[in-house]
């Protein structure tokens, strides 16, 4: 007689418990940020007010619009990170006219209108929850992103906070650009058009939208601009940018591990510097405190990451939801004043796709063509409207750094090696080091030749030649 045993029933993990486990990485990263900020002298009350503003005034409404317009199922982390970036874009684009009309608090209407629409309109209400088909990120990936973002914030606390206190005398000798940024933020907080802090009566024709974010945040939270600039504001930008880089790498490769590797490379691998011994010609790429000392770069990078994500989707799948075009327009419009130097890189990427598709398929890639036209229009907008035709923020100057170095060399100050004029072999040595360094940068692209096809990755490869010189 054969005895049949019933299979052992393993109790399923409740969905609520699984959801709680998936929140742990975010809570871990938040705890690291709180620890870093507390070590920098930020009161818990200030952190709470700022966190509530970012969550309710930027992240939640931005995520709702991102879900409604993008149409591409992604992980919750991707939606939240991209939604946060979109929230920042909408914040500055609404604060500027509100401040111009002397009603600075009116910019909050965009968030209020978002909540109203997504609670009352049935077609929008469904975006309150994660969409069907949403990709679920592996728990290990989430922990890795949380750890990398937390490391960046903690390391910045160690390297930047001690020299930039919030009270005297700790704030008496800040990085040379920070008083300028603080003055610009103060000007944008109190009136528009803004003026340069160092030239009386000179209009501010520069990358200045991050100052609108600082001003808007200060109006709503009541926090001092110095506290925002020196401590709080870069934190959510770092976190969202870290996640978006990992998401973009996953979208391009289909592998979650590539996302972790890309962020690790970004944080821990320094670009080859063939002139490292000289110091004054090519600065080191390893700047742990960069998010704090260059808020314009931080804000521009935050907006650029979701822009590339949407552009890659449009290039790969031109049809479908038209809301993606609205996302591109909003993000590029915000980028025009946040850090317009990202626009030529965007334009180079979509133009590269257009040309490559024309060569390979002998037909025009319509989405790339429209994106190229939009990129040209936004570059013109930045140059004419934001910068008023001046070259303080953006100008067309191919191989500018090469020409600058030649003038620097002729003056005698730019000799790469002592005695190079008497020993030309030293110049050959420098050239050899330079070639090896470039080979290290471009070597990975050779792997793509094995399976060459014009896909969404070409949008990312395109800007590389644009950065030369």
d(CA 467, CA 469): 6
d(CA 117, CA 115): 6
Q: How do residues 265-284 score in pLDDT, each as one tens digit?
A: 888 776 655 555 544 444 44
d(CA 405, CA 400): 9
Phi then psi dihedrals of residue 442, to 5 deg: -100, -5
- CA-based end-to-end distance of the chain: 84
CA-based nearest residue to 227, from 283, 296, 171, 306: 171
Q: What was the pLDDT predicted at 283?
A: 43
Helix, strand or coil, per DSSP, at residue 203: strand
pLDDT band at residue 449 using 50, 70 and 90 as cut-offs: low
Q: Which helix (H) or strand (E) holds 4?
A: none
C-alpha to C-alpha distances, 28 to 15, 49, 150, 427, nearest whole angstrom: 21, 19, 8, 51
| Mean pLDDT of the region 67-94 | 90
Q: What is the pTM of this model?
A: 0.85
| CA angle, residues 430, 434, 438, in degrees to nearest 5 | 175
CB 462 within 8 A of CB 456: no
Q: Which of 276-290, 342-356, 380-394 has the highest mean pLDDT?
A: 342-356
Phi then psi dihedrals of residue 173, to 5 deg: -135, 65
Q: What was the pLDDT predicted at 185?
A: 93
Phi then psi dihedrals of residue 203, to 5 deg: -65, 150
Q: What was the pLDDT predicted at 400?
A: 65
CB 345 within 8 A of CB 375: no
Helix, strand or coil, per DSSP, at residue 167: coil
């Amino acid at each position: 007689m054969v005895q049949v045993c019933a299979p052992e029933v393993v109790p399923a993990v409740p969905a609520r418990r699984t959801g709680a486990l998936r929140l742990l990485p975010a809570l871990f990263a938040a705890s690291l940020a709180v620890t870093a900020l507390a070590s920098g002298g930020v009161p818990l009350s200030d952190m709470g007010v700022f966190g509530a503003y970012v969550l309710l005034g930027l992240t939640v409404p931005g995520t709702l619009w991102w879900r409604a317009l993008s149409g591409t199922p992604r992980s919750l982390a991707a939606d939240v990170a991209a939604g946060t970036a979109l929230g920042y874009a909408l914040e500055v684009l609404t604060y500027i006219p509100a401040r111009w009309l002397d009603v600075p608090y009116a910019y909050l209407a965009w968030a209020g209108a978002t909540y109203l629409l997504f609670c009352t309109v049935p077609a929008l209400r469904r975006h309150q929850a994660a969409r069907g088909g949403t990709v679920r990120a592996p728990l290990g990936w989430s922990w890795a992103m949380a750890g990398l973002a937390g490391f960046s914030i903690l390391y910045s606390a160690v390297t930047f906070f001690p020299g930039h206190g919030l009270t005297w005398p700790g704030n008496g000798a800040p990085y040379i650009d920070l008083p300028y940024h603080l003055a610009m933020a103060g000007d944008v907080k109190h009136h528009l058009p803004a003026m340069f802090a160092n030239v009386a009566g000179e209009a501010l024709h520069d990358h200045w939208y991050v100052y609108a974010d600082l001003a808007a945040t200060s109006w709503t939270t009541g926090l001092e601009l110095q506290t925002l600039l020196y401590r709080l504001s870069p934190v959510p930008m770092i976190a969202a940018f870290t996640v978006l880089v990992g998401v973009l790498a996953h979208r391009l490769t289909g592998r979650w591990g590539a996302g972790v590797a890309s962020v690790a490379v970004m944080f821990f691998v320094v670009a080859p510097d063939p002139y490292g011994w000289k110091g004054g010609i090519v600065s080191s790429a390893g700047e742990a405190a960069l998010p704090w000392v260059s808020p314009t770069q931080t804000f521009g990078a935050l907006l650029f990451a979701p822009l590339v994500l949407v552009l890659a989707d449009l290039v790969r799948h031109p049809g479908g939801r038209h809301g993606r075009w609205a996302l591109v327009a909003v993000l590029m419009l915000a980028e025009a004043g946040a850090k317009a130097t990202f626009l030529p890189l965007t334009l180079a990427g979509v133009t590269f796709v257009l040309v490559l598709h024309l060569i390979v398929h002998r037909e025009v890639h319509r989405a790339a063509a429209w994106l190229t036209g939009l990129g040209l229009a936004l570059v013109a907008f930045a140059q004419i409207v934001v910068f008023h035709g001046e070259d303080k923020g953006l100008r067309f100057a191919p191989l500018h750094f090469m020409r600058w170095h030649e003038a620097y060399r002729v003056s005698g100050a730019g000799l790469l090696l002592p005695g190079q004029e008497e020993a030309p072999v030293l110049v050959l040595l420098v050239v050899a080091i330079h070639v090896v360094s470039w080979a290290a940068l471009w070597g990975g692209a050779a792997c793509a030749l094995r399976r060459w096809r014009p896909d969404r990755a070409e949008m990312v490869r395109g800007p590389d030649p644009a950065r030369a010189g």
